[in-house]
Structure 1
Amino acid sequence: MTVDTGLNRRKAWLTVEFVAFFLCLTGLYAVFLRGVGPLPFLLVITVGIVIYLRRTGFDHRSFWRADTLRPALPSILALWAICAVALTAAVALLRPDNLFDLPRERPLIWVLVLVFYPLASVYPQELLLRAFLFHRYAPIFGDGLRMVAASATAFGFAHFIVGNWISVLLSIAAGALFAVRYQRTRSLLTTSVEHALYGILVFTVGLGDLFYHGAAAS
């Protein structure tokens, strides 16, 4: 078997694996486990991913890489502020009864979201959909726009389990943003901070019902 043949077979296998893992399994979950919170599954997968990454040449600095956060914060916060104004206006216009419903009606739950959501949901998602995906599937997607598109698609389709297409479409857009951020910084900390800001915004402004599923969120 030639080197090219072996490489082509590996790419074919990785393509099948990507579709099966990120699309088919999500679809099956949505059909057969609707109403079951995915967080326990996500946390188990996270443990496996960390073990895999530590054993396969992944740059361990990317697990944190805190030095990239401060330079990235101005652009992160500027875009987030624009989106915050736009989403607040949209909810006020289209869903006025939902505007700031979580902090108004269930402030304790809102505080718990602020504290635990970044740790229990955001960072594990970034491990799976950025670090693992970029590392594992680079042979088929490269490290440019195709990888960004693959990561965004996987992130968006993961929200199919919530049961509405608004969350899927918004998540594809957000996934592209997070993928580009990870591509530039190679920092799960920086990408998780950005992800957490948008997730907390969604739950604060009154769109949480579009993203909440069981015990886990966005």
Structure 2
Amino acid sequence: MNGVSYKGLEFFTLFVLLPVSFTVQYPIWIKMLLGIIGFVYVVYVLLKVENLKFKINPTLRWRLFWKLVLVKLLLIVVLTSSFVWFTNRGKLFQVLLENPLLWLFFVFVYSVFSVYPQELVYRTFYFQRYKVLLKNESLFVFLNAVVFALGHLFFKNNLVIVLTFLGGLLFAITFNKTKSTLLVSIEHAIYGSWLFTVGMGSMLGFPV
């Protein structure tokens, strides 16, 4: 399972073939089953093949991390608030103001049950398995953003593709520097929750 050819086929299957297949019309339960099988496979490989230990690195530079996240978040806040203001002003902070409990529920569910699994697959697994396939670090990070956007093709929304590509770049850079699933998950949860908060939820496929 550690051969270059095997990893190449694995990469194509998990990060190209599977997400592209989700754009095709076939029963939703089959798609869900394939997604679950893929995730279980990823966890199995990380634990049994890569012998990855899930533990918090005591040398993490938390202060620097928070400074960088806050700077990036400030820029995201300005850009996205302006975007919603000019494109759909009625959506601006709508859920937060009209139904704060629903907002809190979505933020919690998204952060715990969506963000962490995504980061486990697209950052931890990807960086652990495929460095051997691509020696150019910048191209490797760029490709990560591409496949992350590809993983959101099923939304069939150009805005989602653009945002997930840009987000993928930010998350890939963070993971490449920190090698921490925890830190990149926190960053992902913060930016994603903000997009929902500012009023871009319905634009990005949320039910509200």
**TM-score of Structure 1 vs Structure 2, range by shorter chain:** 0.7 to 0.9
- Taking structure 2 as the reference length, what is the TM-score of the superposition? 0.86
Q: Which residue of 1 aligns with 2:16?
A: 23
Q: How does 1:27-176 map to 2 (within 5 A)?
A: 27-32=20-25, 45-61=38-54, 64-65=56-57, 67-68=59-60, 69-142=62-135, 144-176=137-169
Matched, 1:14 2:7: yes
The answer to whether the Cα contact below 8 Å between 1:152 and 1:171 also exists between their aligned partners in 2 is yes
| Alignment partners' CA distance in 2, 1:35 and 1:43 | 12
The answer to whether the Cα contact below 8 Å between 1:29 and 1:161 also exists between their aligned partners in 2 is yes
The answer to whether the Cα contact below 8 Å between 1:141 and 1:150 also exists between their aligned partners in 2 is no
Matched, 1:193 2:186: yes
The answer to whether the Cα contact below 8 Å between 2:14 and 2:38 also exists between their aligned partners in 1 is no
1:175/1:21 CA distance change after superposition, 3 Å: same
Q: Which has the higher contact order (CA 8 A, sep 6+)?
A: 1
1:168/1:44 CA distance change after superposition, 3 Å: same
| Alignment partners' CA distance in 1, 2:66 and 2:32 | 28
| Alignment partners' CA distance in 2, 1:17 and 1:44 | 13
The answer to whether the Cα contact below 8 Å between 1:26 and 1:158 also exists between their aligned partners in 2 is yes
CA drift of 1:166 comes to: 1.0
CA drift of 1:101 comes to: 2.1
CA RMSD of aligned residues (A): 2.7
Task: Please tell me the residue identity of whatever aligns with 2:68.
Answer: S
Count of residue pairs brought into register by the alignment: 205
Task: Please tell me the residue identity of whatever aligns with 1:72.
Answer: F
Task: Please tell me the residue identity of whatever aligns with 2:168.
Answer: G
CA drift of 1:169 comes to: 1.1
Gaps of 5+ in 1: 1-6
- Taking structure 1 as the reference length, what is the TM-score of the superposition? 0.82
Among all aligned residue pairs of Structure 1 and Structure 2, give the percentage whose two residues are the same amino acid: 27
Gaps of 5+ in 2: none
CA drift of 1:42 comes to: 5.1
Task: Please tell me the residue identity of whatever aligns with 1:121.
Answer: S
Deviations 1:85-124 (A, max 9, x none): 2111111112112111221333222111222211101000
1:66/1:88 CA distance change after superposition, 3 Å: farther
